[in-house]
Amino acid sequence: MGKNKKKNNNNNNNNNNKKHANPSPKQDPIDDSKEQEQVNKQEQPPKIESTQEPKEPVEESGADDVEKDDKEEPKDTSVMGKEEQEDTKTRENNDIRNSFDSSEKDEQIEKLQTEMADLKKELKDTQEKLAKSSSTSSSPSVDEMEKSEENDKNEELEKLKEERDHFESQYNSLLNRISSMKNVFNKMKESQRDLEIVQDQVAEYESQNLKLKNKVELITKEKTELATTMVTLNKELSSLEDKYEALENKSMKYEKQLKDFKRQEKENSNTYTHQLEGYRKEKELLDTQLQELLIILDNNKQDIVNLKDEKEEMKQALHASENEKTAFEESLQQLSSKLEEQENDYAQSLREKAQEIKALSVQLESSADKNKALQTELQSLKDDIQSLKENSSLKDKLEQETKEQALQIGKLRHESIVLNEHLTKAMAMLKRSSDSESVDKELISNLLISFVSIPRADPKKFEVLELLSSFLNWDDDKKQQAGLLLDPKERRSSTGPVSKTQSFVSMWTDYLEKESER
């Protein structure tokens, strides 16, 4: 009976195992491989969570390292080397952790696979026991045996139900673990992707770091080159300053020379203005004399009409007047030669000044060409050049004035020629009047007015008195009374006898020559 009970218990256990094993395929029709993977995943979550947790700080540390690299890029090369060493250390730690995590995962998967294999074996054993119990139950038995067996079966059924419930709960827990493992694996994949992205970023940052190192090296090289260039530039600057000082000294000398030239030009201009004033006064005197002569000619026109019979005498007078004309022309030539000499001297002085100004302008232009780099500092020299240009414009003005003076001299020559013609006519008329002993009231009145108006110390007064005496044919007594003759012996010791008309004409010509020279 005991043996039968044991057999029945085994059969009941087999049946219960079959009942417990059969519902599992109904609940989840997954393949054995999938079930093993799920079981492995469900049994492993606590360890995976423990391994998952330290990865997050690793990622954070990687991100922090990247941020540190971004922040600490402009540091020195020594600091950059320390950061690279720290980055390599953190990467090695991360690789070690990842290797440990992968080995732990593999161990957990193997454990889950062994547990799944054990469960499959237990299920197979229960199925075989249930098959044997079903075969034994088909044989004939006694009612008592059936009742006792039924009781045993009921007990075994309850136990099997409890075991089934227990296995179902385990199965459900495994399914939950599998689902949680799926989520964990998804998270792991995402974290791996993030790690790959971070690794790519780290590689980019490393490349940037290398680029920055190269830039730092280039900058240091450029710094050394710039230092050398600064030294050379300082030397060049010192040399340029010395040149600038020398040029300033030269410019001061040129300014002094220009001031001297300006003074000389002012003095020359003053002298020329005085000379022009003298020429103008002489011209005015000649104009007054011409007017007087014109008046005399107008008065003598009537006498010319009445004196046609005296042509022969007039011819002789003309011959004498021609001789006097030659004398006048010689005197005028002397005056013109003097004027030409003065003009030549003035032109030579102007040419010399122009050459000096040109030389100065050439020197200044050469100094400006050499010092184009220092144009801002040498504006004073440019101002001097402009002043020289203004002086050249003054030179042009002086040349124009000389041309005008030459024109005036030509006009004066023309006027002197006209005066000579008028003088010849006047001398002829005077000879006639001296022969005829006729007196022109206007001429005498003009001579008296000029005699009175001339100051006492002026020698012109004596000349005018001599003209009056010769024109009025004074005797020696009258001349002595007028103060023209002091001693008759001195008068006798003079040159041979001269006619009244000739003495008057010679005195008149001498007077006119002296006036023209002044």
Residue 466 domain boundaries: 439-518
Q: Which of 20-24, 86-90, 403-407 has the highest mean pLDDT?
A: 403-407
Q: Is the pLDDT of residue 467 over 60?
A: yes
**For residue 414, is it within any domain?**
yes
Report if residue 166 sits inside a domain. yes
Question: Is 251 inside a domain boundary?
Answer: no
CB 136 within 8 A of CB 11: yes
Tell whether 518 and 406 lie within a shared domain: no
Are 387 and 446 in a shared domain?
A: no
Q: Residue 66: pLDDT above 60?
A: no
- In 3D space, the residue among 95, 172, 164 whose CA is nearest the CA of residue 126 turns out to be 164
Mean pLDDT of 204-233: 91
In this prediction, residues 428-444 reach a mean pLDDT of 57
Same domain, 36 and 145: yes
Greater model confidence, 92 or 494: 92
Which residue has 């030397």 as its token pair?
235
At 261 the pLDDT is 83
User: pLDDT tens digits for 110-165?
Assistant: 777 777 777 777 777 777 776 666 555 544 445 677 777 778 778 888 888 888 88
Residue 270 counted as domain residue: no
* Same structural domain, 187 and 311: no
* pTM of the predicted protein model: 0.21
Residues 6 or more apart in contact with residue 18 via CB below 8 angstroms: 126, 127, 130, 131
Q: Are residues 386 and 444 in the same domain?
A: no
Contact 101, 55 (CB under 8 A): yes
CB 484 within 8 A of CB 409: no
8 A C-beta contact, residue 8 and residue 152: yes
One-letter amino acid at 100 equals F
309, with CB counted inside 10 A (0-12, 13-18, 19+), is: exposed
Number of domains in the chain: 3
Q: Could you tell me the CA-to-CA distances from 436 to 138, 303, 316, 395 in Å, in that order?
A: 212, 11, 16, 59
Instruction: Quickly state the pLDDT bin for 224 (edges 50, 70, 90).
Output: very high
Domain boundary, last residue among 419, 437, 455? 437
Final residue before a domain boundary, out of 437, 458, 491: 437
Give the span between the Cα atoms of 358 and 374, in whole angstroms: 23
Alpha carbons 18 and 165: distance in angstroms, whole number: 14
Name which residue leads in pLDDT, 182 or 495.
182
What's the CA gap between 480 and 490, in Å, rounded?
A: 12
Q: Is residue 158 left, alpha or beta, with left meaning phi > 0 and alpha meaning psi from -120 to 50? A: alpha
Q: How far is CA 163 from CA 17, 171, 190, in A?
A: 9, 12, 40
In a domain, 396, yes or no: yes
Residues 287-291: what's their mean pLDDT? 80
The token duo for 385 is 């050049």
> Does 354 share its domain with 502?
no
Residues 73 and 163 in one domain: yes
Which helix (H) or strand (E) element contains residue 379? helix 379-436
- Same domain? For 151 and 73 the reply is yes
Give the Cα separation of 349 and 351 in Å (integer): 5
Asked if 468 and 451 count as a contact pair (C-beta separation under 8 A), the reply is yes
Q: What distance in Å separates the CA atoms of residue 52 and residue 288, rounded to the nearest whole number?
A: 135
| pLDDT, tens digit, 9 for 90 and up, residues 337-353 | 776 776 677 667 667 76
- CB neighbours of 13 closer than 8 A, spacing ≥ 6? 126, 129, 156, 160
User: Cα separation of 370 and 441, whole Å?
Assistant: 80
Q: What is the dihedral of CA 86, 91, 92, 97, to 10 degrees?
A: 130
| Nearest of 315, 300, 329 to residue 419 by alpha carbon | 329
136 lies in the same domain as 62: yes
Residue 107 domain flag? yes
* Mean pLDDT to the nearest integer, 397-406: 75
Contact (Cβ atoms closer than 8 angstroms) between residue 183 and residue 48 = no
In angstroms, the CA 518 to CA 275 distance is: 11
Is residue 259, in this structure, part of any structural domain at all? no
Most confident of 103-112, 283-292, 421-430, 445-454: 283-292
Q: Are residues 448 and 429 in the same domain?
A: no
pLDDT for 216: 92
Q: What is the pLDDT of residue 212?
A: 92
131 and 112 both lie in a single domain: yes
In a domain? residue 156: yes
How high is the pLDDT of residue 398? 73
Last residue of one domain, picked from the residues 381, 414, 437: 437
In whole angstroms, how far apart are CA 178 and each of 45, 102, 107, 409, 490? 9, 18, 17, 134, 171
430 and 447 housed in the same domain: no
